[in-house]
A and B are shown apart, each in its own frame.
Chain A
Amino acid sequence: MEGSSAEAALSVSANSIRITDLTQDGDVLTFAITSQKLNGSAGVCVFRTYEDFEWLQQSLFSQENVPGLQGIIFPPLPPKALPTQLNMQTKAFKQLGFLALGQGWQSYCKALEFYLQQVATHPTLCKCKALESFLINTESPGKQRGRKGIFNRLSQAVEEMRKESHKDVDNFFQNERNRNTSIAALSKVATEKLLDVVMTEQKLALACGHFSTSLHLCVNQDDADAVAFSKVCLKLSDIIEAVKRNYEKVASNNLTTLGLGLDLESRYQEAEKEMLFRRTCKLVELETVKKSTEKAKANKREVMEAFQKAVEKEFNLISSVAKQEIEHFHSSRVNVLKNFLIDWCEQQLNTAKECAELYSQHLEACRNMYSE
């Protein structure tokens, strides 16, 4: 997550990757991705659809010649957005959560942008050729997707049930798995709850809007008393309008900071879980190989032992990569969450201050009106 020595492999600066624009054509969202060349100030702009992102992710999964690839925590790609579906409201919320909120898919773009940055800053993944071409080639990076890769989610789900509880040989991984399981569940719940809060805030803002609008209808200019009352109504309408804007701001603050942060956190936890699962699969494989080697007849034993060695080596490699990845993930994850929290807190604080200021102005005005 932190750009380091590995950046050399990538010709663009990871931190300059931005999704600057989005066009929607029917069901297809096209994202404009800009980045800055490392050598020189030249900018690159490419247009990518969600399918291209999927291709990139697949390419990352299926890299060759990368030792311990399965021990890597791949940055999670947000689920596909389907803007024109009729039941989008309910379905999208289920799938996308926070990413479906926000005007013009802003948060979705933010999430994709974050994904690209994470990939680009990853010490191993940034060396992938697919990333380079994804970011720089003006043409869409080949239509050769469709390969379902090594991770078939359906079979994975079935296997997961079986292997989830498989006792680990390494205490570190056993603990990590336990921790990951609980955190993943909890962060998912927290994200959903925050989503509820934000939705309610939006509803509240809407209700305030209705209230403030209907207060305008109470205006009557017939006589002095009616005018006085109308003034009161208009004042109240202004105040409610202020309340409404406050809630909108608070909601969008929640959305763009803590909401995205929690969403990312929960998706990353899922990614870590997948990685750990892959390692567990390898572990199971190793164990079966060991058993069969023991049972094997003498003539085959040699072959089996060689095979066992190979598997063991691979497993150890994965474990060591995974260990690094986990440590790296932990530190960067805390950092990211911290930044989101600070951001969030500052924004909320600002909003609250602005709002308090506005309210006290209104209060002053009201008191003056009262003393008239």
Chain B
Amino acid sequence: MAASSERSPPPFPDSEEPELLEDSDEGADAFTGTSISEMDSLSPDTTGPPKDIFNEPPEDIFSDPLSEINSEPQKNVKIPSPGSDEAVDLFSDPLDDEADVISSPEVQNPVPDLLKEPVEAPKSDVISEPPSDLSSKPVHKNAIDSPKGAKTAVSAELFDDDDEEEDLFNEPLKGVTKKPQPSAVSGPPVNVFTEVKSEVKVKPQVKDDPTDLFAEEAVTAPATKPSVSSSSRTNGVHSEEQDIFSEATVELSLDSPRNDRKKKDAVKPSVSAPAVSVASSSSKPPSKTLEELEEEESEDKFDLNISVTNPEKVGDGMNAYMAYKVSTQTSLTMFRSKTFTVRRRFSDFLGLYEKLSEKHSQNGYIIPPPPEKSILGMTKVKVGKEDPSSAEFVERRRAALERYLQRVVSHPSLLQDPDVREFLEKEELPRAVGTQALSGAGFLKMLNKATDAVSKMTIKMNEQDVWFDEKIQDVENEEQQLRKLHVMVESLVNHRKELSGNTAVFAKSVAMLGSSEDNTALSRALSQLAEVEDRIEQLHQDQAANDFFTFSELLADYIRLLGAVRGCFDQRMKAWQRWQDAENMLQKKREAEAKLLWANKPDKLQQAKDEITEWEAKVTQFERDFERISATVQKDVIRFDKEKARDFKRQIIKYLESLLHSQQQLIKYWEAFLPEAKAIA
């Protein structure tokens, strides 16, 4: 699922709820049939997993970039269970929003061809209109409804029940695909929606299952489509996802303390009306960050062990590649089992990063970058048979990949990403393509270019937030320092290697000296000494590897990570830029209006006013975007800093342990040698 599906939920709850309140009672009969047929055809599949649907919303909470929404689904979940009809009405909507992310695979399975058609339209909707005001705009409703209409149409097609309905639905679909503009689709989709809802109420009689569940199912079907359309994925993938999601549901229980807390926050507004909660939700982000930070603390002990092992060369010649065994050990219930293993190749790791960054980077998350692609190193592996340097290269990469995955799953938001779970769990992944461009030096260059471009922007951007102002500076300084440190450590490692080499040579010459020594005791002592030196050489070598893996690689990782952090700042800057642009545009429109007033041209005045409202909406929205992204970035950077300190501490302890160990070995060696030296007569 591409980024859009993840981001799409936010707009839905906001914009739909008002709609819901207004429209829910009016039902257009025309569509009843469709939904029924959907219901029927779906029910065999869905009777099993209703529980899923219940659990899904919370699942979505975690993956949802917008924390404000989190509170809503919760309420929804809570309230439907009593089974009141009103509740069903009210909440069926939000639920379907959640569902569209989650349950889409279920529906989508049988509809491979549909996937491609609506791709463009929903995407643009989602992107242009994310978290708009509750109060706002027909624009939103349409934008949001229309994909749904499209979906319903699709599903109608799918089930081939009613030809007429198909026609009816096709209209909105076209509207949607062509223009995500408000006016085009505003009529029908609304109807469709209300329809579905009324359907829900009727349906229960058909099935034995509880009303709520059904209602959700019903809604799910049409709603799923937007996400389907927005993703360009293949079918097979989604069918897998289905399982993954049903697993994910269980996670709800695991995280429940967290949910409870959120519920508490959310309960009050929800009691009165969802609208209130939505209103309050807009003010939530700041407080949320604090809350999230606390959560983070409690989440530290999360139990997920990932190891990358068994690098194995697959194939021959230049087409050969290394496959790694990715083993996961976890007690997290979101996974199918406690331990599982998959084989992945390097480009799969890059592909994962690509997917994650496509989806999450514009939200301001720090996406851990994968190790760089090394054409030289890999060619050596491909060509060379048993070269120590290529073995070192493979080991180095293996370790880097392991750290990379561990960083990904330690990010609370990224862990929830379906792609991550898929990567860890699924047997076969589609081959990642086009990873070349983003890997290695090319990627860094790209990043640098972006940074340069942004630094130009920085001049324009007068930073309001002191925190960001300082942090950006800090990050840059830090990166420089880390680079310096990295150079130091590299030289340290080289010296150690040199020392180990020299020690080896010395050991050899002592051995030779010993062998040509006449005095037997001295000769023995010398050959013992040679052995000691040999062992010391091994110690030095181990220590060099230790230095390298604990520090050099750690620093290299963090240099890359800081690059990612800067990327986040860039994203924030871009959001700010968008906002400012919109602000300017609004200003222009207002001036134009004033001119029109002055010129007394009432005919054009209305249009100008419309435009102003439109741009006002955009400004508010972009501003909110910016605030949201700022909050996310801030949160993530704080998390990153914590993680960094913890990581370094861990590494230092590891390093000290290794130092201590080699010192103790050294003591042993000397102690063993001392009597030999004393025995020389």
Contacts and interface: CB of A to CB of B under 8 A. Distances in A.
A and B are partners in one complex rather than unrelated chains: yes
Interface of A: 179, 182-183, 186-187, 189-190, 193-194, 196-197, 200-201, 203-204, 207-208, 210-211, 214-215, 217-218, 220, 222, 225-226, 228-229, 231-233, 235-236, 239, 243, 330, 334, 337-338, 341-342, 344-346, 348-349, 352-353, 355-356, 359-360, 362-363, 366-367, 369-370
A196 B495 contact: no
B414 interface: no
B655 A239 contact: yes
Interface of B: 470, 474, 477-478, 481-482, 484-485, 488-489, 491-492, 495-496, 498-499, 502-503, 505-506, 509-510, 512-513, 516-519, 521-522, 525, 529, 638, 641-642, 644-645, 648-650, 652-653, 655-657, 659-660, 663-664, 666-667, 670-671, 673-674, 677-678, 680-681
The 9 closest A-B pairs by CB, nearest first: A225-B641, A356-B663, A193-B506, A338-B680, A349-B670, A341-B677, A228-B645, A211-B488, A190-B509
A368 to B, nearest CB: 11
Given A334-B522, A352-B667, A211 B492 contact: yes
B660 A370 contact: no
Given A182-B516, A190-B513, A194-B506, 11 more contacts: A183-B517, A203-B498, A208-B492, A210-B491, A211-B485, A214-B488, A218-B482, A228-B642, A229-B641, A352-B670, A363-B653
B666 A222 contact: no
B656 to A, nearest CB: 4
A235 B655 CA distance: 12
Contact of A186 (B503, B509, B659, B671): B509
A349 B671 contact: yes
Contacts of B474: 220, 222, 226
Contact of A369 (B485, B644, B649, B680): B649
A68 B561 CA distance: 78
Contacts of B666: 348, 352
Nearest to A211: B488
B667 A217 contact: no
B188 to A, nearest CB: 53
B499 A342 contact: no
B648 A233 contact: yes
A222 B667 contact: no
A337 B678 CA distance: 11
A225 to B, nearest CB: 4
A239 B656 CA distance: 8
B645 A363 contact: no
Given A193-B502, A220-B474, A352-B666, A362 B656 contact: yes
14 contacts: A182-B516, A186-B509, A186-B516, A189-B512, A190-B510, A200-B498, A200-B502, A204-B496, A210-B488, A211-B485, A217-B484, A338-B525, A352-B670, A359-B659
Contacts of B655: 239
A231 B680 CA distance: 50
B505 to A, nearest CB: 5
A203 B495 CA distance: 7
A214 B513 contact: no
A179 B519 CA distance: 12
A217 B481 contact: yes
A358 B671 CA distance: 19
Contact of A345 (B470, B477, B659, B673): B673
Contacts of B659: 239, 243, 359
B478 A218 contact: yes
Contact of B660 (A208, A228, A363): A363
B663 A355 contact: yes
Nearest to A353: B667
A197 B655 CA distance: 23
Nearest to B658: A359
B667 A197 contact: no
